[in-house]
């Protein structure tokens, strides 16, 4: 059972389906699938994708985009 239909929940469901195709996967949400934070993400979703990028750059980008509103300790998680 996976709780949440955002990008994390859906990615996990896809990966689990590949890893254990003999198992059933249940994905539940409290609303329809389009009512998740991923759907409302403005400007895309940032992540580290290649060797020219780094988690530290991603952290700095997030802090800059947050314009002082981000809790750096939480961003670093």
| Same domain as 13, residue 3 | yes
Q: What is the pLDDT of residue 51?
A: 85
| Same domain as 37, residue 2 | yes
Q: Contact at 8 Å (CB) between 33 and 5? A: yes
Q: What is the pLDDT of residue 35?
A: 84
Burial state string for 32-48 with b = 16 or more CB within 10 A and e = fewer than 16: eeeebebeeeeeeeeee
pLDDT in tens, the chain (77 residues): 999 988 889 999 999 999 999 999 999 999 887 888 888 777 777 778 888 889 999 899 889 989 999 999 999 98
Dihedral pair phi/psi, residue 3, rounded to 5°: -105, 120
- Is 34 domain-assigned? yes
- Is 5 domain-assigned? yes
| Same domain as 55, residue 29 | no
Query: 68 lies in which domain range?
Result: 43-72
Q: How many domains does the chain have?
A: 2
């Amino acid at each position: 059972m996976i709780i949440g239909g955002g990008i994390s929940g859906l990615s996990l469901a896809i990966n689990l389906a590949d890893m254990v195709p003999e198992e059933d996967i249940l994905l539940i949400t409290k609303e329809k699938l389009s009512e998740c934070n991923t759907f409302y993400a403005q400007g895309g979703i940032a992540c580290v994708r290649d060797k020219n990028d780094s988690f530290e750059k991603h952290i700095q980008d997030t802090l800059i985009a947050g314009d002082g509103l981000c809790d750096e300790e939480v961003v670093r998680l």
